Structure 1
Amino acid sequence: AAETDRLCYVGNNFGTGALKCNSLCKYFVGVMNKDSRKMEVYDAELFNLQPVFPGDSINEGLSPESQNQSYRDKVDSLIEAFGTTKQKRALSSRRMNQVGSETLQKAMAKAAETIIDTKGLTALVSDVMQTEADDVSLYLPPCHADADKPEDVYRFDDNSLLLSSVDYAALEAPAAAFRDITSEELLKMQQTGSYSLYVLEELKSMPREEKSRDHKARCLWYLQALIKLSFQKFIKRKNALGFECPHVINSKLLKTFTVMSFNKGNMQNVISSSMKAKLIAYVIALALHINHFQTDLTVLQCDMKLSEKKILEVAKAMRLKISKKKGRFFGGTEEDHRIGTLLVPLPKYEQSSRQQKRKKMA
């Protein structure tokens, strides 16, 4: 114990209030004798002293939480009696926030009980499922489900979808290599292994007509950029897609398919799992426009290193008709490929019975 003119302080060397450092280290105190100029060394312990107010008793069996709470109450009392204006204002604000939080919790609990009583549990589960479906649609290209033609379902020239007129114009220069490609250059591209199988396969069948050839070249170059972006997780450099990528396209990709994150004092673009799903959906939508609204999902799955379940999940969410067809990769044997076809009217996407059962149980 230690006393001053105003307060008494008490600390324990055992029990819940004792410091653990006493059992880990050995402490000494040196006392200097002014006359002999020699120091005498004594064993010592460290104590955490707490103020004790008149009329209070020290309960050794009190839990640390109770001790902290009672100490907080006592400090608050001292602030109310002797604190400065700033301290009193902070105390009043903290207590108001605490009351407001408790009031809000009670109001939320009462509102939840009212909603359950009014709508019923079945209606609430239905609302949750609809909300989850709406959340999924946020990561899909804008869909015009009532369109009469496949090309109007996921429109090519929507500013928020695939390529705006400004983006399309910016692709003229980088897409020239695809537009003017020769059979020898295509063979070299296959050997490098830096291009997707889907792009290489489509470059084999470029149209002869100049306008159609230029259009397909621009689409394939942009598709290759999307696939390349899908392999990255953190993007620290603004030119992560290469210096040949136009600034307009680079900015569009970062804005559309990444989220900003603060890491170790720096801001960086991150491709989260939801953004990866969005990338997959936009790749499928662009591939549909390239190949008459039918695309080989198995080839795209291989290019983006996805599981079959993942790409089929996105394709069904986009309401594509899924079928099987025999196909082969370069120099490989024939195997079953999953083909996604965009038909109107759109087939209804139904969740698996297993997912529905899990949601009902929840």
Structure 2
Amino acid sequence: MASPRKKVTLEYVPPENVSNEPLLVQFTNGRLKPDNPPNFGYFRSTERDDVRKRHRRVLVAETERMQYVGRNFGPSAPRGNSLCKYMVGMLDKKTGKMRVYDTNSFTMRPVVHDKDQEKHKDETDLTYQEKNDRLVDAFGGAKKKRAMESRLRDKVKKEALETAMGAAVEDVMKTPEKLTGPEMDSGSTIPPHDKNAATPEDVYKVESIIPLEVFEALKDAAGDFVKATKEDIAKWRAEGRYSTFVLRQVSTMPLDEEARLTRSCHIMYMWYLLALHGLKYTDWRKRDLPLPDGMPLLVKQQLLGAFTVKADAARSRRAMPPRLKDKLLCYILVLGLIIEKFRLNLNDVQKDLKIAQKKLMTLTRAIGCEIQSKKADRGTDSDTQRMAVLPIPFKLPDPSRGKGRKGGR
């Protein structure tokens, strides 16, 4: 005898009134064992404004041995999701009322982790050129393979150059020139100066060339100059250990102990500037620049920060672009002026710098000096002796007057 029929009333519950919506779930590899229930995670799309995306859901299940993922969108979603609307009814037998809820259907698929999956790029992410390169590598002839390898090498060199240029620009932006004085211009190659100075000693101050902390670090390194004898100087000259300008200055040291130490520090810093300028192309390609032995670390860092830039961040190589090389030359000339009481013998400087006379004259005038020439004494290498003198009132040359007739029409 059939059981009597019961009257059931249906009540639809809108999704906005449901906190935990029921789900329809099936696993592709069969039913799970009840003694190992999975932990579920349910994720909703945050794209509320996009009609196509706001209903997307992801269900994740995890057991001790396996992980499962199901989606109601995409290729792995059940085919009926886009054509059907799934609903679940929950019957209360006592009241005879069935509540009907909207739901989503999920097909849970096991996730297999490949240890080498990060090493292999997904085929869908490859560009047309990358796919073509794979075909050439697998089936191409020798000529095509050589062309591909050449193109890839050029690409690597271009990326390395862009990286090096970016690192150099970044280094320049991060390490502005820290100059102190009446006039400061981080883009200028000329040291800080006072245009309104009443004496040559007030135009260029040694503190703007050698910072105080660098001067203190030079005291130990300059000890050889402080106690140098005639025999030491003759030995250094025979060995070619120091430049002509440095040896001539060490030969005329003051007797006062404090003045002797100060002058020795100035001469030693001048030697470091000359050594930095004298580095050759092969020296710049080395990771550690061959600077003089015994140079204090603080002095080395200050010189490299002021007159060089990073050329290769990966290998810590540095370079000296033309603008910074001109800046270094100007600092050498100004420090030479200070050491020689603002009457600098350019013949010795040119011999040490090994630069063209025209270049030296141009930079000398650029720092505001006048050039006085006279017939040299007998026994000298040059027929003419040139002296750089700093006149008062101090005046820098007008850059616009340096343009020739070809500069414009």
Q: TM-score, normalised by structure 1?
A: 0.57
1:152–1:301 Cα change, 3 Å: same
2:287 and 2:316 in contact (8 A); partners too: no
Shift of 1:334: 5.5
Quick one: distance in 2 between partners of 1:240 and 1:172? 21
Q: Which residue of 2 aligns with 1:146?
A: 196
Quick one: distance in 2 between partners of 1:135 and 1:353? 21
Please identify, of 217-226 and 347-356, the stretch whose mean Cα deviation from structure 2 is larger. 347-356
Q: Which residue of 2 aligns with 1:21?
A: none
Q: Which residue of 1 aligns with 2:341?
A: 292
Q: Which residue of 1 aligns with 2:223?
A: 176
Q: Which residue of 2 aligns with 1:245?
A: 295
Quick one: distance in 2 between partners of 1:292 and 1:310? 23
Shift of 1:299: 1.3
Quick one: distance in 2 between partners of 1:342 and 1:312? 14
Number of residue pairs the alignment of both structures matches:
227
Q: Could you list the per-position Cα deviations for residues 151-201 of structure 1 after superposition, in whole angstroms to 9, with x for gaps in the alignment? A: 22121113xxx1111111111111010111000010011111231111111
Quick one: distance in 1 between partners of 2:272 and 2:337? 16
SS state at 2:408 partner: helix
Q: Are 1:337 and 2:337 counterparts?
A: no
RMSD between superposed Cα atoms in Å: 2.9
Q: Which amino acid aligns with 2:328?
A: L
2:199 and 2:392 in contact (8 A); partners too: yes
Q: Which residue of 1 aligns with 2:83?
A: none
Quick one: distance in 1 between partners of 2:190 and 2:323? 10
Shift of 1:249: 0.2
1:328–1:199 Cα change, 3 Å: farther
SS state at 1:266 partner: coil
Q: Which residue of 2 aligns with 1:308?
A: 357
The correspondence for 2:371, drawn from 291, 302, 322, is 322
1:239 and 1:250 in contact (8 A); partners too: no
1:354–1:345 Cα change, 3 Å: closer
Quick one: distance in 1 between partners of 2:142 and 2:207? 76
Quick one: distance in 1 between partners of 2:247 and 2:377? 14
SS state at 1:220 partner: helix
SS state at 1:275 partner: helix
Quick one: distance in 2 between partners of 1:278 and 1:355? 21
1:240–1:341 Cα change, 3 Å: same
2:190 and 2:367 in contact (8 A); partners too: yes
Quick one: distance in 1 between partners of 2:401 and 2:393? 24
2:197 and 2:394 in contact (8 A); partners too: no
Q: Which amino acid aligns with 1:274?
A: R
Shift of 1:224: 0.6
1:221–1:26 Cα change, 3 Å: closer
Quick one: distance in 1 between partners of 2:337 and 2:299? 20
Quick one: distance in 2 between partners of 1:180 and 1:353? 48
Q: Percent identity?
A: 27
Q: Which residue of 2 aligns with 1:255?
A: 305
SS state at 1:339 partner: strand
Q: Which amino acid aligns with 1:344?
A: I
Shift of 1:240: 3.4
Q: Which amino acid aligns with 1:176?
A: G
Q: Which residue of 2 aligns with 1:221?
A: 268
Quick one: distance in 1 between partners of 2:142 and 2:364? 68
Q: Map residues 43-54 of structure 1 onto 2, 5 A cutoff.
A: none
Q: Which residue of 2 aligns with 1:191?
A: 238
Quick one: distance in 2 between partners of 1:156 and 1:26? 65
Runs of 4+ that moved beyond 6 A: 134-137
Q: Are 1:205 and 2:252 counterparts?
A: yes
Shift of 1:238: 4.7
1:228–1:327 Cα change, 3 Å: farther
Q: Could you list the per-position Cα deviations for residues 140-160 of structure 1 after superposition, in whole angstroms to 9, with x for gaps in the alignment? A: 1112211122122121113xx
Q: Are 1:231 and 2:281 counterparts?
A: no
Q: Which amino acid aligns with 1:209?
A: D
1:141–1:181 Cα change, 3 Å: same
1:281–1:342 Cα change, 3 Å: same
Q: Which amino acid aligns with 1:253?
A: L
Q: Which amino acid aligns with 1:294?
A: R
Q: Which residue of 1 aligns with 2:153?
A: none
2:200 and 2:342 in contact (8 A); partners too: yes
The correspondence for 2:315, drawn from 266, 272, 284, is 266
Q: Which amino acid aligns with 2:322?
A: S
Q: Are 1:359 and 2:392 counterparts?
A: no
Shift of 1:212: 1.3
SS state at 2:207 partner: coil
Could you say which structure has the higher helix fraction?
Answer: 1
Shift of 1:137: 6.4
Unmatched runs of 5 consecutive residues or more in structure 2: 1-140, 144-183
1:298 and 1:308 in contact (8 A); partners too: no
